[in-house]
Amino acid sequence: MTNDKSDILCLENVSFKFSTMTTPTIANVKLTLAKGEILGLLGASGCGKTTLLRIIAGFVSPSAGTVAIADKVAVMHHGKLLQVGTPEEIYYQPASCFVAQFVTQANFLPAKHRGEFWETEIGFFRDRSQKSGVGSRKL
């Protein structure tokens, strides 16, 4: 991966496949974005735009490939820039209630209970609480 000092984003052979799918949602994406450049992701619904952005943001890990991103990120809401900082600064010192809720929301993985399993976008997981008698729990 080439990572020039002026590069703010480098994706090298990034791929992602949901466990419930037979084909990858994203396949071997290579992209470099230099400081000052603006990129718009365009495509039909379901083509992988949101998944790629979730990978770049660190909310989802790629199945393959590498992602290198600048040292700082920004959180926006309703067209306003709310906070700029390192991911750690934003996570541990959110500038507003919205930033705090947004960041913690990324820590949750929606799941549906299916008998002995929890179904998520990344696969099925055995419900261990049923064996221990603890009862259902949210993931």
Per residue, the 3-state secondary structure of 68-98, as one string, reads EECCCEEEEECCEEEEEECHHHHHHCCCCHH
Between CA 130 and CA 132 the distance in angstroms is 6
Q: Residue 111, Cβ neighbours under 10 Å: how many?
A: 17
**Is pLDDT of 137 > 70?**
no
pLDDT in tens, 95-135: 999 988 888 776 666 778 888 887 877 677 777 665 544 44
pLDDT in tens, 77-94: 888 889 988 877 888 899
Whole-number Cα distances in Å, 86 to 32, 129, 135: 20, 36, 38
The proportion of the chain whose per-residue pLDDT surpasses 90, expressed as a percent, equals: 24
The proportion of the chain whose per-residue pLDDT surpasses 70, expressed as a percent, equals: 84
